[in-house]
A and B are shown apart, each in its own frame.
Chain A
Amino acid sequence: MIFPSHTRTRILCAWVLWLAMLGLVTVFMHVLRRDIGQAHVVLIYLLLVLGASISGGRPFGFVIAGVGSLSIDYFFQQPFDTLTIGKPLDGLVLIAFLATAVVATQIMALAHAEAERATAHALEVERLSAEAQHAGALREANKLKDVLLASVSHDLRTPLTTIKALAQDIASGAEGAAENGAVIVTQAERLGRIVGSLLDLSRLNSESFPLSVEVNTAEDLVGAAVQQFTGVEGASRRLRTVIDYSQPALVGRFDFVQSLRILTNLIDNALRYSPPETPVNITVQSREGMLGFEVADRGVGIPPSERIRIFEPFYRPVGSRPDGGNAGLGLSISRRLAEAQGGTVTYQDGAHGGSTFALWLPAAEGDM
């Protein structure tokens, strides 16, 4: 086995240290050898063998065991200062000492190797699980990309087909150029929206979405959201904002423009997926350090089986028209945008039937 240089130095130090200990102990016991029994000597040498094999490994343990048994024979067994074995029992003691020392060293070395294997194994497991996680994320990203491509090609092709057909009509000098032109404008706007949404989704996924989080009031956000629906047919009659003006203004810390997009998206969905002329209520509440903007409609609600999927990209309600004008990205972008600001978007059943979507954003501390 080849050790790195710092390991070699450490082992060298251990050898020097334990050999010095052996010498010291031997000198000490040599002085006292008339007063101590053979058992003491043997036990103390055994301790040395154990210590040496822990810090220096198997070969070192064997060396100390060998030197130890020679010292016992030479210094502490009568006749002193010779290697002659006087009594048969002394020979047995020596053999027992050697055997015990060797076995102990072996066990130590095995335990040490086992511990090292376990550490290496744990590291390996850790590395593998990190790799698996990474692979999972990549698979997820890849899956999203596949879904994206499939949906994009479909969503982009539909308006493009319309635009191409109508433009060909106009180019050939057919009648109704004005009407065709108007449809082309609508379809082009739809294409623009889809492209914008896709760009946002990809930026949100790569976490490079620029946000400017500032102190804003809830009323300002609600007002600006309602403003977005000025001129939309029937919307202003249906939208109802309920704010208690006897209470201090609710203040939050969020990106106004992006939060406005989320709230506008929730209101747009509520208007779109509930019967005409039914009200859509917008309320704000403050709870546990968060501001909750709730948008409640009187539609059919969302069946329990669909609730997890509504926040996934490209989700469309069952039975909705495939070319309903949106790519099914609104809610997934909304939730990611809210999460990027430390909030979220949640769904719950409405009190009067229908759906209630809530945008949660961090409230601001202190009175202002």
Chain B
Amino acid sequence: MVPIVVLTARHAESEKVELLNAGADDYVTKPFGTAELAARVAAQLRRTPRRQPDLFIHTDGFSIDFERRIATRDATAIRLTPIEWGLLRALSADPGRVLTHQQLFDAVWGQAYGDVRQYLRVHVTHLRRKIERNPANPSIIITEPGVGYRFNATK
């Protein structure tokens, strides 16, 4: 599978969302720096071929063990709701990739629930309060304004 980075002159968030929903992996908007474009392409190439999602993730003092369903922050166990597990699962399946609100919603709730995407942001906020060191300056779940969220596992 070839990763897709879209280079676009369109700035509107709705258009970025459409692109990502249509299957793009990342986007760069004009005006862009060549270094940024190169870095984003390189990041996508690193992730190819898609590997199986990790069952164990450790980032910045936060660990998830999906097999045993245990999450810890600095060695302290965290209680997560089923929806929060779902969010973590969907986001961490592909670290660094932007998931649109729609993609996340579909992954966690399924399409049958209709459009209650607004709850998604509230659940992400609750999840951050449990797993982030500083929920008001998150380092694990990053907001892509107007587009969606990205799981950051680089640290």
- Could you tell me which A residues sit within 8 Å of B by CB distance? 188-189, 192, 210, 212, 214-217, 219-220, 222-224, 226-227, 241, 243, 245, 249, 251, 256-257, 260, 282, 368
Contact = CB atoms under 8 A, between A and B. Distances in A.
Given A227-B138, A249-B129, 10 more contacts: A216-B121, A217-B121, A217-B125, A223-B136, A226-B137, A249-B125, A256-B145, A257-B145, A282-B136, A368-B122
A220 B126 contact: no
Contacts of A224: 143, 145
22 contacts: A188-B31, A212-B14, A214-B117, A214-B118, A215-B121, A215-B122, A219-B128, A219-B129, A220-B125, A222-B136, A223-B137, A223-B143, A226-B137, A227-B138, A227-B142, A241-B134, A243-B136, A249-B129, A256-B145, A256-B146, A257-B145, A257-B146
A243 B122 contact: no
Given A189-B31, A227-B137, A257-B13, A220 B118 contact: no
Contacts of B146: 212, 256-257
B121 to A, nearest CB: 5
B122 A260 contact: no
Nearest to A249: B125
Q: Which residue of B14, B128, B134, B137 has the most chain A CB atoms within 10 A of its CB atom? A: B137
B122 A223 contact: no
B21 to A, nearest CB: 15
Contacts of A212: 13-14, 146
A214 B124 CA distance: 15
B134 to A, nearest CB: 8
B135 interface: yes
B138 A223 contact: yes
Contacts of A245: 129, 135
A258 B135 CA distance: 21
Interface in B104-155: 117-119, 121-122, 124-126, 128-129, 134-138, 142-143, 145-146
A39 to B, nearest CB: 84
B135 A243 contact: yes
Contacts of B119: 215, 368
A368 B138 CA distance: 21
Contacts of A241: 134, 136-137
Give the one of A215, A217, A219, A245 with max B CB within 10 A: A219
A251 B135 CA distance: 15
Contacts of B125: 217, 219-220, 249
Given A241-B137, A245-B129, A249-B126, A220 B143 contact: yes
Contacts of A243: 135-136
Given A192-B31, A256-B145, A260-B145, A220 B121 contact: yes
A245 to B, nearest CB: 6
Contacts of A210: 12
